[in-house]
Amino acid sequence: MLEASEEAGVNIDYSCQQGYCGVCKTKLLAGNVTMAVEDALTPEDKAAQISLACQARSTADVSVDA
């Protein structure tokens, strides 16, 4: 999602790009993503549909609050 957002001109803050720091936490409004690393997400984040933009790979069209 991070690369796609940059290409679209939407800036999402990020730092480590490894899924550990959580700077890129982004609310997923619609669609589904997969993430190789979710270490920066709490159970509450996951329940609230928060994803890590640096790790999230869409499995279909997505909408995010960025």
Say if CB 51 and CB 26 are below 8 A apart: yes
| pLDDT at residue 59 tops 90 | no
Position 23 scores a pLDDT of 95
pTM of the model: 0.87
| pLDDT at residue 66 tops 90 | no
* List of domains in the chain: 2-65 (3.10.20.30)
Contacts of 9 (CB under 8 A, 6+ apart): none
pLDDT, tens digit, 9 for 90 and up, residues 4-58: 888 989 999 999 999 999 999 999 999 999 999 999 999 999 999 999 999 999 9
Position 40 scores a pLDDT of 96
